[in-house]
Structure 1
Amino acid sequence: MNSVKIENLDWMTYQALTEQGRCRIILPVGAIEQHGPHMSLNPDVLIPSHIGEQVASRGDNMLVAPPISYGYKSQVKSGGGNFFPGTTCVSGASLENYVFDVLQAYVNHGNREFILINGHFENSMHLCEAADRLVNKCRAEGISIRIYLLSYWDFISEETIAKVFPDGFTGWAVEHGGVLETSIMLKIHPELVDMSKAVDVEPASFPPYDVFPPDPSWVAPSGTLSSPVKATAEKGEMILEECISGIVAHLN
């Protein structure tokens, strides 16, 4: 197999690789969302796509579908909010239906096992809905499918967190645009990171509720929820290796 990316295959090669449902299809799902002035708008797409390709390269009989790039609305307390220029989101219903339709198309090709790799926290429950709907629909039609849904950050251990954040970890809730995502991007796409623009901010502190319409004053002007200044490519490599090897181990 010359490529694990479906879009790089001709249709006959794709058909031969996937006949009788013998391949597992990896679908990265992300978002276009601001990640501070130091980084591009697409880490939530590029990171799960990279992880998916690496997992497929190390695993058995896996192919990676083109990513779904638009995600559910950025929320203030997890992504800085939907009011920053460049953050381009869809409704939960739109995301659910889109993922459902894409997976249904792959089912129609004969595929029976899927791995959704999520790169945007806000997507999670809408991906659950899409997966649940499709499993139930296929069951009613006498078709047995299996869908794994994972977020890559769930594979990062406390030991790795201690190494990445030697001064203490302030929690996943404020890691948007911070050390973790920036370090990974420095490893896989350094051309899309400019650390000279990184803003050193204190970890965000939020009240124990959400408010609508959202209040922009809850978020630092940079858009990040914590400081990225201590990010390094070496930390990114450590994080990625643990995520990729962990996903492969569980799926195999």
Structure 2
Amino acid sequence: MTTNMMAEMTWVEYQRRVKTGPLMVLLPLGALEQHGHHLPMGTDHLLPLAICKAIAERIPAVVAPPVAYGYKSQPRMGGGNHFPGTTSLDGSTLTAIVRDVIREFARHGVRRVAVVNGHCENAFFAIEGIELALRELRAAGINDLKVVRLDYWEFTTAATLDRCFPQGFPGYALEHAAVLETSMGLQVFPELVRMDCLVDDPAAVFPPYDVHPARQEWVPPSGVLSPAKGATREKGRVLFDEYVERIADALSKEIEEAQR
């Protein structure tokens, strides 16, 4: 059996892949978070996992099991942490998970890691975990580990956004469970998308500040921050292919640099 999935390998197969390098370990980072009435709560880790699987078909890479829990959902980008099913980590917990996993990869002999994030709220806690891992590894004499951290949606081109949003792009924050994620879901896991359950809530309108405890009344009852009715599988295919191609190209350059 040939596989790029770390969890499906024996330790001997994994060790061989690491030693015959160059090799990059891809770590999908996501969340378990409500995504309206029509998308599964695992959307934020299912999408980066699928992207990583496709990337590993293009570059020398192994896909680690995803981190399926993320930092607390925020009202202005994820609808908030009050929805049933949304299951979140404290920031320090997520930071520790990222630190520990990267430190373990380095112990295995891996020297290139990509953290592929699918949940906006994870970003700074992932950065902290990466920095702490690198600091500890340098103290242990390992100075050649490089970690790439990315949010997959940042690889969307302006042309693709224009194609997906002929009436204008509302911004990534309001795209929670909306056109981009729903289109991607139709491409990646169509059997889990309930288009017949779409709720036609108007787009959320937030002030330019937060209140703690969160104002739940600011969030549409469905949890969707912008209408998803423009989502199509064709848009999802364009988005998915663009992410895989552009991220794979970027990571290939980092692998090539490691060989110099």
TM-score normalised by the chain length of structure 1? 0.97
Instruction: Give the equivalent residue in structure 2 for 1:163.
Output: 163
The 2-side partners of 1:27 and 1:39 are apart by: 23
Is this contact kept in 2: 1:20–1:111, CA < 8 A? no
Instruction: Give the equivalent residue in structure 1 for 2:27.
Output: 27
Q: Which moved more, 1:101-110 or 1:15-24?
A: 15-24
C-alpha displacement of 1:13: 0.7
Q: Which moved more, 1:188-197 or 1:138-147?
A: 138-147
The 1-side partners of 2:34 and 2:167 are apart by: 26
The 1-side partners of 2:30 and 2:53 are apart by: 15
Is this contact kept in 2: 1:170–1:203, CA < 8 A? no
Instruction: Give the equivalent residue in structure 1 for 2:71.
Output: 72
Instruction: Give the equivalent residue in structure 1 for 2:118.
Output: 119
3-state secondary structure, aligned to 2:57: helix
- Mapping of 1:1-40 within 5 angstroms? 2-19=2-19, 22-40=22-40
- Mapping of 1:1-252 within 5 angstroms? 2-19=2-19, 22-59=22-59, 61-143=60-142, 144-252=144-252
Overall identity of the aligned pairs, in %: 42
Unaligned stretches of 5+ residues in structure 1? none
C-alpha displacement of 1:196: 0.7
Change (3 A) 1:170 1:199: same
3-state secondary structure, aligned to 2:170: coil
The 1-side partners of 2:177 and 2:91 are apart by: 23
Unaligned stretches of 5+ residues in structure 2? 253-260
3-state secondary structure, aligned to 1:27: strand
Letter of the 1:18 partner, please give it. V
3-state secondary structure, aligned to 1:200: coil
Is this contact kept in 2: 1:76–1:219, CA < 8 A? yes
Q: What do residues 170-215 of structure 1 show as CA deviations (whole Å, max 9, x unaligned)?
A: 1111000100000000011011111110112222110111010001
Is this contact kept in 2: 1:29–1:68, CA < 8 A? yes
C-alpha displacement of 1:36: 0.2
3-state secondary structure, aligned to 1:148: strand
C-alpha displacement of 1:251: 1.4
Aligned residues: 251
Is this contact kept in 2: 1:179–1:229, CA < 8 A? yes
The 2-side partners of 1:232 and 1:201 are apart by: 18
The 2-side partners of 1:89 and 1:251 are apart by: 29
